[in-house]
Structure 1
Amino acid sequence: MDWTNTLFEVIDMRSFSNLWFWIALAVVWSSVSHWVLGVPFDMIQRARKNGGQAEADLHDMVRINVNRLLYIGQVSGLVLLLVLSFALTSLAILAFFYDVEFAQAVFLLAFPLTLVGALSLSTSQAIATQQPEGEALYARLSKHRVITQFIGMISIFVTAMYGMYQNLAVSPIF
């Protein structure tokens, strides 16, 4: 008996019917919504609640991460944009023109994350120019988190609907 055939019979290697894909999707969006511009959300809540040293630490973390994101955007932004555009276009062609299910799953995971990346750059630029402090900074970071969560909800919904369609389309019943 061939062990690879047995393995592929036991573990379904298609993306949308694989439990590991859905776990990875949940972990990715949970992590992305928890880390706001590289700052954990509990740190934002602690600074809002306690003030003092927690607030100073938050301001330092935000300043460091904003400067880091803007530096990456200024130094290698064009190259990253070109590589990302090429990768997403290649994935989209493989996914929807050649009907490769793995590429579909990766595209449905990667494309919304690029939107979150663009949102992070935009928020970083706004924070760098306006230099908000205290409640204005908390509001800006909370707004970023809510928009990120909205993108995540739409992404998970679209991925779930498309995944169910794919699973029904390859099912022997239909």
Structure 2
Amino acid sequence: MELTDALFELIDMRSFSNLWFWIALAVMWSSASHYVLGVPYDLVLRARRDGGSAVGDMEDLVRINVARLLYIGRMSGLWLAGITCFVLTGLGLLGFIYWVEFAQALFLLMLPMTFVGLLSLNTARLIQDTAASGEALYTRLFRHRIFVQVIGMISIFVTAMWGMYTNLSLGPFGV
């Protein structure tokens, strides 16, 4: 048996019938929803509920992550946009023109996360522009989390529908 045959047998390239793909999808959206601009949402809730040092910790983390996101956006935003568009276009063509299921799966993972990245960049800019703190910061982070969850729900729904269609149309052996 060749190395490539053993590798493809070990790693099922039919992504939508692979349990690991669905676990990765769930973990990805769970993490994206929990970390709001890189700040754990339980810290935001604790700061809002208890006040005190938790507020300072949360505001410091938000300030650090906002500055980091905006710096990355300013320094390499055009390069990242170009590379992201190139990768998404390549995956879209491979997946939906040439019917490579692995490329379809990666496309359905990466496209919505691109929207989450753009939303995070916009939220970071709004927080910095308004110098949000206190209740305004809680509201901004809450709104960002809700938008990420909505994108996640739509993404999971579309991915599940496409995965079911693919599995039903190909059959159990990917004929």
Whether TM exceeds 0.5 here: the answer is yes
TM-score calculated relative to the size of structure 1: 0.93
TM-score calculated relative to the size of structure 2: 0.92
List aligned pairs for 1:120-135, cutoff 5 A: 120-135=120-135
Aligned residue in 1 for 2:74: 74
8 Å CA contact 2:13, 2:102 repeated in 1 = no
**What secondary structure sits across from 2:17 in the alignment?**
coil
Q: 1:70 to 1:9 in 2, by over 3 A?
A: closer
8 Å CA contact 2:13, 2:101 repeated in 1 = no
List aligned pairs for 1:40-51, cutoff 5 A: 40-51=40-51
| Pairwise CA distance, 1:152 | 0.3
Aligned residue in 2 for 1:65: 65
Aligned residue in 1 for 2:166: 166
Tell me the percent identity: 62
Runs of 4+ in 1 over 4 A off after TM superposition: 1-12
String of CA shifts for 1:117-154, please: whole Å, max 9, x gaps.
Answer: 00000000000000111111001000000000000000
Amino acid at match of 2:114: T
Gaps of 5+ in 1: none
Q: 2 CA distance for matches of 1:2 and 1:94?
A: 25
Aligned residue in 1 for 2:18: 18
Q: 2 CA distance for matches of 1:96 and 1:59?
A: 43
String of CA shifts for 1:38-89, please: whole Å, max 9, x gaps.
Answer: 0000100010011111001111100000000000000000111111110111
Q: What is the number of equivalent residue pairs in this alignment? A: 174
Gaps of 5+ in 2: none
Q: 2 CA distance for matches of 1:16 and 1:30?
A: 19
Amino acid at match of 1:107: F
| Pairwise CA distance, 1:6 | 8.4
Amino acid at match of 2:16: F
Amino acid at match of 1:138: Y
List aligned pairs for 1:4-153, cutoff 5 A: 12-153=12-153
Q: 1 CA distance for matches of 2:10 and 2:130?
A: 56
| Pairwise CA distance, 1:13 | 3.6
